[in-house]
A and B are shown apart, each in its own frame.
Chain A
């Protein structure tokens, strides 16, 4: 039995450390090896998809080894229908992000590659960990490479953005550590067994009340900052805008999902009563985020900022879906997490491509690109339409399911959230119109090159997946439905017991 999860988790990181010993001048070797490693990681993660039994309950591909037995800490990894998709999303986006950096990152390329690979290990570790200690280790360790990516290879204001990013997230996760310890000792005192094992702790029915509420809030704060849920989003525009393209892709594509994933994996099953009682609050904040993100996006003069704020809006939808606590909403939220990773990742990639050519991201500096770079414009259209939720593309599936779920929970708020889709159309299409259509307003733009083969190779897989999910979403939703059903039943059973 090959430990696939350990393999894909540690392969990139190990390769990253090994790459540090490669001479600096051999950039070709660095490119080739890093690409080979990430593609190999993706290839190794494919058996997870095909071997995953969608009807089985519980975790699959589990590995459970002793680590610190006296403390109840184990090296326990495994995936279910939720983490499967996120693991695949991570391994899929990583080679694309790396290749996209080939043209843009010149300075300290070796360190950049190694940092990206270490980051991949951290992110995958977060998604596969089934032990709270292990999870926290990855959760915190992952911050460091992202901090370096923003701080070293970012834009002019990168240091500020990097420090803001890491301090925000560390404050959030500091309190989560106390809550983890609280949960550990409460479970230990109640059952006599001290363990950080997530499946075991998830079986524990905690009494509703102050302790559960506080622990929920501590976990929720850490995750809400990461998502980011309005009003904890202020680090995001800075980090996204300053990060290099590859960093933005990973940040938007994968990192933000760690927050929503945390809500699904920990908040709902551990603290179901608190999740229900704070549900309306989160619901309301999510709707505010949807609208607020969309409105702020509309007025952004900078392409990257526009995409960054659109993340606030899209992740608001995901949070909305999670706290509907019903089948459609949750499945929609999970698939929307993947969708956002693909379409926003692609938007960042394309903004990066145009920035490399023109060294500007201001919408006002463009116009009439349709004639100059037709292939770019066509793919940009597909990606923008996917982001705004056009039926037939992936975004529609997720948002539709989320809104179906949300209407069952609170029709008024859902109706308000629906307007977020309209605003998404406003800011994306208006941006598209100003950048791509019309007359060529700046002479410099006439000399822009269209997509290079490398850029085609980066974009085609994403666009293919965007269309595939849009046309045949069952290939992905089918993997999560059983897990989601079990999660809902668990929450209902626990809150039912307490009532």
Chain B
């Protein structure tokens, strides 16, 4: 019997994730400390963790490493996602500080869970093995299930948590079953070796079924139709800062793992897969946009809009290649800034001591709080895709990749959907600028940290809109080795 060989322990590739986890430990330790420690300290530590991870990511840019027998892949692809995820995490922490205090729910656990979720997302992007994919996904999801139910006294928050947990567990089991089937066919869970095995036997039914089940699991996490049912309720019921994290970071993490898994599919299988993805993309953007029109709750509307945006990202995935997949990465970056900003504005608005979540609550906001209204207006215009904001460039790259790959009709469906989207995004603008409030007016709940987060997000969407090329080129270069 062979002796058990311990793999060489190389922690450097995990440095950004470890920083985030370290910050989580520190916050937990702080919670145990004396009562005199101000609550804000937890947030500051969490923020420092995010920024530290971001700096570590930037320091590692351009290097490639593998750890734990190829279970962890640290390459520019993972690092790019780290940037997206750390930015989202940092924005969410900034938005949470005053929001949670106002709602009477500030606690150290919150930041611990946000940090754990962030670490899970980052691990998903760096996973080189299906087991790591699953573990990272669960680390992220379990943290988010709890976070969604943070407002213990609110029925909607509990409902969101429960729904998210039940449907999420369902999706996880699909994913796990798929992984098991793939393991049965390939005899390994390492993505590299699965790719080799698949190339040898591309039509093995176990592979096809296993891959299909894995896609179902991911479809749930990225909230593509028909696995989107949980999205509106969870987005609406969860605390808004958590919703922002679910909409940005968890989506980025799930896409990161999805793209890695799809990259193992050999060319022979690709056309069928593309046809399937084509249909899913078209249906996802159409349903997301059409149903969003009917929403009167802003959070719910943004939930459906996020489904629509997943549809746009899937268009880039259908187009494939470095251009198409790179455009998805860029889109996620843009989307993280825009969506975190839009939800961020909601965390700063309250009406009659309660959160302002109805579209009608925003009537006349421009007159009372012009800066806040302008910020939300710009985020929404970026979501519509009005140049020179980042949302336009994101769509431009995605649809450009689709046209280039010959999927002209999918691009046509996409741009028409954008026009549909304009209707409901602009409805909010109509309320803010062109209507007067009925009853109590919505007020600004002052928050320095929240204002800072909005400023960063605004800077992001303007910068990414005016000089997108360097970032988009980085995204394409990062994804190029993966898609060959």
Give the B-binding residues of A (Cβ under 8 A): 67-71, 73, 108, 111, 133, 136-138, 140-141, 143-144, 147-148, 151-152, 158-159, 162-163, 166-167, 170-171, 174-175, 177-178, 181-182, 184-185
Interface assignment of B337: CB less than 8 Å from any CB of chain A: no
Q: Is the CB of A175 within 8 A of B412?
A: yes
Taking the closest CB of chain A, its distance from the CB of B174, in whole angstroms, is: 35
Task: Give me 17 other A-B pairs in contact (C-beta within 8 A), A174-B415, A182-B408 excluded.
Answer: A67-B469, A69-B469, A70-B469, A70-B473, A111-B370, A140-B387, A144-B386, A148-B433, A159-B434, A162-B434, A167-B422, A167-B423, A174-B419, A175-B416, A177-B399, A185-B403, A185-B404
Q: Which residues of A contact B435 (CB under 8 A)?
A: 159
Taking the closest CB of chain A, its distance from the CB of B417, in whole angstroms, is: 9
Q: Which of A152, A158, A163, A174 has the most CB of B within 10 A?
A: A174
In B417-453, the 8 Å CB interface with A consists of 418-419, 422-423, 426-427, 430, 433-435
Q: Is the CB of A68 within 8 A of B468?
A: yes
Contact flags (1/0) for B401-414 with A, using CB distance below 8 Å?
00110001001100
Q: Which of B388, B422, B472 has the most CB of A within 10 A?
A: B422
> 15 A-B residue contacts at CB 8 Å?
A71-B469, A108-B367, A111-B370, A141-B387, A144-B381, A144-B386, A151-B434, A159-B434, A166-B426, A171-B419, A175-B412, A177-B396, A178-B399, A178-B412, A184-B400
Closest to A183 in B: B403
Dominant SS among interface residues on chain B? helix
Interface assignment of B220: CB less than 8 Å from any CB of chain A: no
Given A70-B469, A143-B386, decide whether A152 and B434 contact each other with a Cβ distance below 8 A. yes
Rounded to whole angstroms, the CA-CA distance of A175 and B409 in the bound complex is 11
Q: Which residues of B contact A144 (CB under 8 A)?
A: 381, 386
Rounded to whole angstroms, the CA-CA distance of A159 and B426 in the bound complex is 11
Q: Is the CB of B419 within 8 A of A151?
A: no
Rounded to whole angstroms, the CA-CA distance of A169 and B292 in the bound complex is 21
Q: Is the CB of A136 within 8 A of B387?
A: yes
Q: Is the CB of A181 within 8 A of B399?
A: yes
Contact flags (1/0) for B462-480 with A, using CB distance below 8 Å?
0000011100110000000
Taking the closest CB of chain B, its distance from the CB of A205, in whole angstroms, is: 21
Q: Which residues of A contact B386 (CB under 8 A)?
A: 140-141, 143-144
Q: Is the CB of B416 within 8 A of A147?
A: no
Interface assignment of B87: CB less than 8 Å from any CB of chain A: no
Taking the closest CB of chain A, its distance from the CB of B280, in whole angstroms, is: 20
Given A70-B469, A136-B387, A178-B408, decide whether A151 and B416 contact each other with a Cβ distance below 8 A. no
Q: Which residues of A contact B80 (CB under 8 A)?
A: none
Rounded to whole angstroms, the CA-CA distance of A151 and B431 in the bound complex is 11
From A67, A140, A158, A166, give the contact of B434 (CB < 8 A).
A158
Q: How large is the interface on B (under 10, 10 to 19, 20 to 34, 35 or more residues)?
A: 20 to 34
Q: Is the CB of B403 within 8 A of A181?
A: yes
Those 4 A-B pairs whose CB atoms lie nearest each other, nearest first: A68-B469, A174-B415, A137-B387, A181-B403
Taking the closest CB of chain B, its distance from the CB of A4, in whole angstroms, is: 22
Q: Is the CB of B387 within 8 A of A177?
A: no
Rounded to whole angstroms, the CA-CA distance of A167 and B425 in the bound complex is 11
Interface assignment of B392: CB less than 8 Å from any CB of chain A: yes
Q: Is the CB of B430 within 8 A of A170?
A: no
Q: Which residues of A contact B399 (CB under 8 A)?
A: 177-178, 181
Rounded to whole angstroms, the CA-CA distance of A178 and B386 in the bound complex is 15
In B281-318, the 8 Å CB interface with A consists of none
Q: Which residues of A contact B412 (CB under 8 A)?
A: 175, 178
Q: Which of B387, B404, B435, B473 has the most CB of A within 10 A?
A: B387
Q: Is the CB of B422 within 8 A of A181?
A: no
Q: Is the CB of B469 within 8 A of A178?
A: no
From A71, A151, A178, A182, give the contact of B430 (CB < 8 A).
A151
Taking the closest CB of chain B, its distance from the CB of A169, in whole angstroms, is: 9
Closest to B431 in A: A159
A-B contact count (CB 8 A): 82
Rounded to whole angstroms, the CA-CA distance of A185 and B406 in the bound complex is 10
Closest to A139 in B: B387
Q: Is the CB of A147 within 8 A of B468?
A: no
Closest to B416 in A: A174
Q: Is the CB of A175 within 8 A of B415?
A: yes
Rounded to whole angstroms, the CA-CA distance of A69 and B422 in the bound complex is 30
Q: Is the CB of B392 within 8 A of A140?
A: yes
Rounded to whole angstroms, the CA-CA distance of A159 and B430 in the bound complex is 7
Q: Which residues of B contact A181 (CB under 8 A)?
A: 399-400, 403-404, 411
Rounded to whole angstroms, the CA-CA distance of A138 and B387 in the bound complex is 8
Q: Which residues of A contact B434 (CB under 8 A)?
A: 151-152, 158-159, 162
Q: Which residues of A contact B408 (CB under 8 A)?
A: 178, 182
Q: Is the CB of A178 within 8 A of B411?
A: yes
Q: Which residues of B contact A68 (CB under 8 A)?
A: 467-469
Q: Which residues of B contact A163 (CB under 8 A)?
A: 423, 426-427, 430
In B373-391, the 8 Å CB interface with A consists of 381, 386-388
Closest to B385 in A: A140
Q: Which residues of A contact B418 (CB under 8 A)?
A: 170, 174
Closest to A185 in B: B404
Q: Is the CB of A152 within 8 A of B433?
A: yes
Rounded to whole angstroms, the CA-CA distance of A108 and B426 in the bound complex is 20
Rounded to whole angstroms, the CA-CA distance of A32 and B435 in the bound complex is 30
Q: Which residues of A contact B467 (CB under 8 A)?
A: 68
Q: Which residues of B contact A158 (CB under 8 A)?
A: 434
Rounded to whole angstroms, the CA-CA distance of A159 and B387 in the bound complex is 22
Closest to B395 in A: A177
Rounded to whole angstroms, the CA-CA distance of A111 and B433 in the bound complex is 11
Q: Which residues of A contact B473 (CB under 8 A)?
A: 70
Closest to B410 in A: A178
Q: Is the CB of B388 within 8 A of A137?
A: yes
Q: Which residues of A contact B404 (CB under 8 A)?
A: 181, 185
Q: Which residues of A contact B427 (CB under 8 A)?
A: 163
Rounded to whole angstroms, the CA-CA distance of A159 and B427 in the bound complex is 10
Closest to B435 in A: A159
Q: Is the CB of B469 within 8 A of A167?
A: no
Rounded to whole angstroms, the CA-CA distance of A162 and B469 in the bound complex is 33
Closest to B468 in A: A68
Q: Which residues of B contact A182 (CB under 8 A)?
A: 403, 408
Q: Is the CB of B422 within 8 A of A166?
A: yes
Rounded to whole angstroms, the CA-CA distance of A178 and B417 in the bound complex is 13
Rounded to whole angstroms, the CA-CA distance of A468 and B386 in the bound complex is 40
Rounded to whole angstroms, the CA-CA distance of A114 and B396 in the bound complex is 28
Rounded to whole angstroms, the CA-CA distance of A144 and B416 in the bound complex is 18
Rounded to whole angstroms, the CA-CA distance of A140 and B395 in the bound complex is 14
Taking the closest CB of chain A, its distance from the CB of B398, in whole angstroms, is: 11
Closest to A147 in B: B426
Closest to B418 in A: A174
Q: Which residues of B contact A148 (CB under 8 A)?
A: 433
From B381, B387, B388, B419, give the contact of A167 (CB < 8 A).
B419
Q: Which residues of A contact B400 (CB under 8 A)?
A: 181, 184-185
Taking the closest CB of chain A, its distance from the CB of B247, in whole angstroms, is: 24
Q: Is the CB of B422 within 8 A of A170?
A: yes
Q: Which residues of A contact B422 (CB under 8 A)?
A: 166-167, 170
Q: Which residues of B contact A111 (CB under 8 A)?
A: 370
Q: Is the CB of A141 within 8 A of B403?
A: no
Rounded to whole angstroms, the CA-CA distance of A99 and B266 in the bound complex is 66
Closest to A110 in B: B370
Q: Which residues of B contact A166 (CB under 8 A)?
A: 422, 426
